[in-house]
Amino acid sequence: MLSVSQSAMLLGISPARVRKLIANGTLPAQKIGRSWAISEKDVAARLDRRPKVGRPRSAAIDGASSSPLSESDESDVTFDGGSFVDPPERLLYRACKEAFFFRPDRRLIAQAESNEEASFYYAVADFFLQQKQRELVKAGVF
């Protein structure tokens, strides 16, 4: 069983959208206390259906009588025989985070084929440095 936030992460949509899908009956779920529990099978089934991406069209626009909360979110996460596979963009993010968590490697900068490539390395390293600084400020270190 998955929580609303776990389901949202796997489906690539917001927790609010997951709650709307539950309320609409599109995504089966069980209420346990004050929380919702969603079956992994139901999340995988939604991923397999690959609903259209974007905001649902209203009946007035497309002349259809479908609900505005119909299948409208497409996720980049795929279900591959029992495990969820990350999209290439997420893999890129994780690789950049691992490579540039503190500072770019000087050898990498020296081997850059262009100023643009070197600037990219600095920009990515700067992004992760700023994230770390925000965490430290939030923790009260600074």
Mean pLDDT of 51-74: 52
Q: Is residue 64 in some structural domain?
A: no
Containing structural domain, residue 20 = 4-57+72-79
Q: Do residues 51 and 93 both lie within one domain?
A: no
Q: Is residue 65 in some structural domain?
A: no
pLDDT at 64 exceeding the cut of 70: no
Number of domains in the chain: 2
Q: Is residue 25 in some structural domain?
A: yes
Mean pLDDT of 58-66: 50
Q: Do residues 50 and 92 both lie within one domain?
A: no
Alpha-carbon gap, residue 10 to 103, rounded angstroms: 31
Residue 66: per-residue pLDDT: 44
Give the number of other CB atoms < 10 A from CB of residue 47: 19
Residue 50: per-residue pLDDT: 66
Q: Is residue 104 in some structural domain?
A: yes
The answer to whether the predicted template modeling score (pTM) of the entire model surpasses 0.85 is no
Alpha-carbon gap, residue 61 to 42, rounded angstroms: 30
